[in-house]
Structure 1
Amino acid sequence: MKKKFKFTLAYQILTGLIVGIIVGAVFYGNPAVETYLQPLGTIFINMIKMIVVPIIVSTLIIGVAGTGDIKQLGKLGGKTLLYFEVVTTIAIIVGLFAANIFQPGVGIDMSELSKGDISQYVETTEEVKDNGIIDIIVNIVPTNIIQSMGEGDMLAIIFFSVLFGLGIAAIGDRGKPVLAFFQGTADAMFWVTNLIMKFAPVGVFALIGVTVSKFGLKSLVPLGKLAILVYLTMIFFIVVVLGLIAKMAGTSVFRIMKVLKDELLLAYSTSSSETVLPKVMQKMEKFGCPKDVVSFVVPTGYSFNLDGSTLYQALAAIFIAQMYGIELSVTSQITLVLVLMVTSKGIAGVPGVSFVVLLATLGTVGIPLEGLAFIAGIDRILDMARTVVNVVGNSLATVVISKWEGRFDASKEDKYFATTEKLA
């Protein structure tokens, strides 16, 4: 019997993406596109940002209160951070190897390239430089949790939620009404998430339409070698590196990507992993990961496990050096790895995070910061690829840590696929 075609959310988002590209290409250079479409894209992004903090706070408090064991939580945190550090370091090394082998910056005529404006990132970069690793650690502890929630300071929110969850567990029966409140909040917010996702195709259409109308597809031509290499390296990282990690953990990266097909398409279209955070958490729990692991690993990964971003930063740094004809020694490249390992952590909430990290890093190995202005024009197209890798990396991390803890529920995974195949 032939299956009846269903116009699912994935197809709706894909349609929005294609129509947006067509509209942007047809009306390239027309400011009216941004005037009329940007508000739709901004509304969608704002709706997602509106629900992220309540979902993280409520699910993390429920998960921690359910565990109630500070030793077990410390063990989970240690394993998570160790895994993040190892995988992001591998991502940096893969980026360096790709740039050194294929040399995308060699032979580029810089007179053909148009410069983008990077002044908006310079001030932020100075703040990042001023706030060293010690300050980042200090700022994890919030002075005002409401202010931290308003600013979307993920690490401070996680710190408070963990302590609050432990407090609820410690007071026993008296904490049950509070726990019930947060359970109700989480359930309600996931319902709101499903409602907002119905607007996703419109948001994708608007955001991609504005991008194409502003920069045009022809902006890719002078930097085509870099764009192609970034995409191929990202695919290599997902298929080979994350694929091997998944196989070692007894799962499949393609199976996880199948679960998250809607979210990956949305993340790619919007260049924002934040837009899919609520749904990723929901699906990873349905996939078989325990609630406390999901609610801890996924949000923490948004600050410490940006595989796509760190890979791109390493590749872009070497690309700019090659563009200027600068030969980086093995020592300089090792220094670059070490610096990126530090600068890429803890500033995920900063706008244009990859640019900020690069600005804070390039000077340490003698690469001109001005080189970033030449790749600013296609950064959005490159950002789409690295966002997908970030989402896949964090989702896989949740499964790996769940299995490492011996708490992954394989029956849920089988049930999830059986249900989705039946609905398809």
Structure 2
Amino acid sequence: MKKFGLATQIFIGLLLGITVGALFYGNDTAMAVLQPIGDIFIHLVKMVVIPIVVSALIVSIAGVGDIKTLGKLGGRTILYFEIVTTIALVIGLLAANIFHPGTGIDKSNLEKSNISTYEATAKTAESGNIADKFVHIVPSNVFQSLAEGDILAVVFFSVLFGVGVAVIGEKGKPVLQFFDGVLDAMFWVTNLVMKFSPFGVFALIGVNVAKFGIASLIPLVKLVAVIYGTLLFFVFVVLGIIAKMSGTSIFVLIKVLKDEVILAFTTASSEAVLPRIMDKMEKFGCPKAITSFVIPTGYTFNLDGSAIYQAIAALFIAQMYGVHLSIPEQITLLLVLMLTSKGMAGVAGASFVVVLTTLGSMGLPIEGMAFIAGIDRILDMLRTSVNVLGNALAAIVMSKWEGVFDKEKAKRYIDFIKKSKAA
């Protein structure tokens, strides 16, 4: 495997996983063998994410040391996220209205999956109000937030701690050096973990194909086609325009993040690539202070792929049950999705739960989601890759907006990638 690059190794793992899963469809023994391998990889990834986010934020914020600059960056970042996410939701709703993926679906031909766990989570989320979502950002116990992987609460604490380290001056230097060392060490660990990724991808894909079978896609092929087509349109048109306005190209960004996009696609986990995106965007010319703040925050506020999926899935259920939603009702749906999607960070199957919560609040039949639960993994794969690209591009946009993007560094890194490929 050493002859091949990481992207090639992951792709081989994907193909082998699909093949093995198809051969052992419905075989519980095969799934029991593969599942631990996939679980180990996901655990390894989760193990490195929080230490990297915490140390990177503290090092970068303490390096900035200016609360006004930080506040300005935070305000601009949230504004950008809200605009792009709203565009993603609107495009999702338009696609569902144009292509009608749920019209004419025969529910009797669809296999129903158990979604009781998701329903319980959705009911808990529905019971909270907007104020609760803001309260949740501030951790009552930072160690509990660290243990639960609550990214937004961790970001909030790390930013405050970084400001504190900067303000105390000389006394803060040993703390800064400590976290700088932690950051370097964790990047080394991340590179080690990534060497295991082809095996993790093989196991994760193998289990899903063995569990649901490729045949589960057939009745819902139109839904998959509409969601995939819309996601690709968003990447190459919307993100492409934003990239062009930022002085770069979406194709260059994809080339830079090729390994990470493929890994995000195959594992359906954006956490798996968070440390490497931060590292690569810094090498691409974005300052550490920008990447360390913008990218982790984007994992809560800037999930463009998930937004498109949520909009299409909600209208798919309405269409499948023959419920017509007027334009005012669809605007309400848009606003509800904007709110519910922000409160689901760190929740397992977050996008799925967002749709359930939205359906419940709109009076639509939530049991309809049971019909697409079996193929949610297939839908999750591309929407995760789009989330990754959207957040990486956000770091470039913010760096340009702040006037600190290093064009020469970006050019050197692109030249380095080209030489590495040639070698």
TM-score category of the 2 structures, normalised to the smaller one: over 0.9
Conserved 8 A contact 2:261-2:385: yes
1:60 corresponds to which residue? 57
1:133 corresponds to which residue? 130
Task: Tell me if 1:223 matches 2:193.
Answer: no
2:256 corresponds to which residue? 259
CA distance in 2, matches of 1:398, 1:6: 32
Structure 1 position 30, deviation (Å): 0.9
2:309 corresponds to which residue? 312
Task: Tell me if 1:120 matches 2:114.
Answer: no
Task: Tell me if 1:145 matches 2:142.
Answer: yes
Secondary structure of 2:405's partner?
coil
- The residue identity in structure 1 corresponding to 2:76 is K
Structure 1 position 369, deviation (Å): 0.7
1:369 corresponds to which residue? 366
Q: 1:21 aligns with which of 18, 22, 33?
A: 18
Q: 1:162 aligns with which of 155, 159, 164?
A: 159
1:87 corresponds to which residue? 84
Secondary structure of 2:164's partner?
helix
CA distance in 2, matches of 1:347, 1:295: 21
Structure 1 position 364, deviation (Å): 2.9
- The residue identity in structure 1 corresponding to 2:195 is K
2:239 corresponds to which residue? 242
Conserved 8 A contact 2:89-2:307: yes
- The residue identity in structure 2 corresponding to 1:66 is G
CA distance in 2, matches of 1:132, 1:285: 37
Secondary structure of 2:342's partner?
coil
Over the residues paired in the alignment, what is the CA RMSD in angstroms? 1.0
Task: Tell me if 1:195 matches 2:182.
Answer: no
Structure 1 position 366, deviation (Å): 2.7
- The residue identity in structure 2 corresponding to 1:128 is A
Task: Tell me if 1:272 matches 2:272.
Answer: no
2:328 corresponds to which residue? 331
Structure 1 position 6, deviation (Å): 4.7
- The residue identity in structure 1 corresponding to 2:287 is P
1:388 corresponds to which residue? 385
CA distance in 2, matches of 1:20, 1:123: 32
Conserved 8 A contact 2:152-2:345: no
2:38 corresponds to which residue? 41
CA distance in 2, matches of 1:130, 1:367: 17
2:28 corresponds to which residue? 31
Task: Tell me if 1:75 matches 2:72.
Answer: yes
Structure 1 position 346, deviation (Å): 3.4
Structure 1 position 365, deviation (Å): 2.6
- The residue identity in structure 2 corresponding to 1:391 is V
TM-score, structure 2 length as denominator?
0.98
1:9 corresponds to which residue? 6
TM-score, structure 1 length as denominator?
0.98
Deviations 1:401-424 (A, max 9, x none): 111111111111111111122222
Segment drifting more, 52-61 vs 252-261? 252-261
Conserved 8 A contact 1:155-1:346: no
Conserved 8 A contact 2:50-2:146: yes
CA distance in 2, matches of 1:407, 1:135: 36
Structure 1 position 355, deviation (Å): 1.4
Consecutive unaligned residues of structure 2, counting only runs of 5 or more, are none
CA distance in 1, matches of 2:16, 2:149: 32
Query: In the comparison of the two structures, how many residue pairs are matched?
Result: 420
CA distance in 2, matches of 1:363, 1:128: 11
Segment drifting more, 123-132 vs 52-61? 123-132
Q: 2:351 aligns with which of 339, 342, 354?
A: 354
CA distance in 2, matches of 1:421, 1:311: 33
Task: Tell me if 1:175 matches 2:172.
Answer: yes
CA distance in 1, matches of 2:414, 2:243: 18
2:291 corresponds to which residue? 294
Conserved 8 A contact 1:304-1:346: no
Please identify runs of 4+ aligned residues in structure 1 that moved more than 3 A.
none
CA distance in 2, matches of 1:189, 1:104: 44
Structure 1 position 136, deviation (Å): 1.3
Q: Percent identity?
A: 63
Conserved 8 A contact 1:268-1:385: yes
Deviations 1:156-195 (A, max 9, x none): 1111111111111111111111100000000000000000
Conserved 8 A contact 2:58-2:179: yes
- The residue identity in structure 1 corresponding to 2:304 is D
2:96 corresponds to which residue? 99
Deviations 1:110-136 (A, max 9, x none): 110111111011111122112222111
Conserved 8 A contact 2:256-2:417: no
- The residue identity in structure 2 corresponding to 1:152 is G
